[in-house]
Amino acid sequence: MQVQKSTKIAAKQTDKYVLALVSVLTLFAVSFVTAIFRVSQSSKYDGLHLNSWSLGGQQQQKLGNSR
């Protein structure tokens, strides 16, 4: 009986830690996506790779112009 009680208490404490960790990681992911969106919409970073999701197109353009 006592073992089952301590196991339930330990499981509840573990659930709190897991929920806290998942919450922090979710907030980090949401803020990262928000920052990417804001930078991509800003004219301050025109011509840099920060405005696109990939480096492919802009690198090819720069290589084509330098030859």
Structure confidence at residue 67 (pLDDT): 47
Alpha-carbon gap, residue 8 to 49, rounded angstroms: 51
Kindly report the CA angle at 29 between 25 and 34, in degrees rounded to 5? 150
The band of 37, judged by pLDDT with boundaries at 50, 70 and 90, is: confident
Closest CA to 41 of 49, 51, 31: 51
Rounded average pLDDT over 21-44: 89
- Choose between 26 and 65: higher pLDDT: 26
Q: Give the pLDDT confidence score for residue 58 in this predicted structure.
A: 52
- What average pLDDT does the segment 30-44 reach? 85
pLDDT value of residue 18: 93
